[in-house]
Amino acid sequence: MSNKMHLKVFRGDNSGGELRDYQVEVDEGMVVLDVVHRLQATQAPDLSCRWNCKAGKCGSCSAEVNGKPRLMCMMRMDLFKPDEIITIQPLQAFPIVRDLVTDVSWNFEVNKKIPPFKPKPKNPDGTWRMMQYEVDRVQEFRKCLECYLCQNVCHVLRNHGKHDVFFGPRFMVRLAGLEMHPLDDADRVKLMREAAGIGYCNITKCCTEVCPEDIRITDNAIIPLKERVADRYYDPLAMLFRAIRGKNR
């Protein structure tokens, strides 16, 4: 069972482009990425798209399908009505290299700015020990694929181009995973407030809505980090309490 579906696919680069119309044969069980590959094979051999695992784990085939940031390999074609027009565009928060491929290298540079895991001193018995329930909490953040759909949909980056002052939700997740780790000893609160620009986030939760791994980015990562920044910089009572206890953290 197959039918032809109407696709509008972005063709162009960062200087401009257009949505070009195609009619593509779609078979049962296909996902959007399959249709893009069929389009490449049959009508547009010069169409550029990035992909790798085709299993929703590598995060390479991120795109906007009918305006919604999705992994093309995880979006089934039977979600669409047979007569529906399907629009496929590249990510909109990064420079377009060509067609559906964007330059996401800015993210790799941001990642380098985050101090890595720094283990606490060992216990007297020479071991590090943590409980399963403490691991569970940070495990959620380890599910991140680095598909950058959250970075793409974040209006601070997407609509305001604040790449030089805001790390974006993906790296708030990484910061949360490190900051909440029971054995980590580094302090990243100053970084979160200043270089990472957590104050730019106005918690409108688009990042959470698009995460293919269902990480509760806003509630479990960004807001807890904002609260830690508030502890340090915006809460005179907490500052007084720390001063009395003679602690810096």
Partner 1 sequence: MAFTTPAMRHRLGETTRRDGWWINPAAMALTFLVFVVYAAWAAIQSKYYTYGPPGAEHYTYISPFYSPPFQEYFPKVAAFKFFPAFWVVWLPIAFRLTCYYGRKAYYRSIMLSPSACSVGKGAGRGYNGESALPWILNNLHRYFLYLIVVLVIFHWFHFFQAFNFDGRFGMGVGSLVIAADTILLSLYVASCHSVRHLIGGSVDCFSCARAGEARLKAWEGVSWLNQYHNLFFWASLITVGFADLYIRLCAMSIWTDVRFF
Candidates 37, 111, 224, 242: give the one binding partner 1 (CB under 8 A): 224
Q: Confirm or reject binding of residue 186 to partner 1 (CB under 8 A).
A: no
Candidates 11, 209, 213, 242: give the one binding partner 1 (CB under 8 A): 209
The minimum distance between CB 206 and partner 1, in angstroms, equals 4
Candidates 98, 174, 181, 188: give the one binding partner 1 (CB under 8 A): 181
Is residue 155 classed exposed, middle or buried when 0-12, 13-18 and 19+ CB atoms within 10 A define those classes?
middle
What is the distance between the alpha carbons of residues 135 and 180, in angstroms, rounded to a whole number?
9
Q: Where are the beta strands (DSSP E) in 72-224?
A: 85-89, 96-98, 101-102
Return the DSSP state at 77. G
Candidates 53, 79, 203, 243: give the one binding partner 1 (CB under 8 A): 203
Q: Confirm or reject binding of residue 227 to partner 1 (CB under 8 A).
A: yes
Site mask, partner 1, residues 123-162, x = CB under 8 A? ------xxx-xx-----------------xx-xxxxxxxx
What is the distance between the alpha carbons of residues 126 and 21, in angstroms, rounded to a whole number?
65
Cβ proximity to partner 1, 2 vs 202, nearer residue: 202
What is the distance between the alpha carbons of residues 14 and 213, in angstroms, rounded to a whole number?
29
Kindly identify the residues of this chain, within the stretch 42-101, that bind partner 1 according to CB under 8 A. 64, 66-69, 87, 89-90, 92-96
Closest CA to 91 of 10, 37, 16: 10
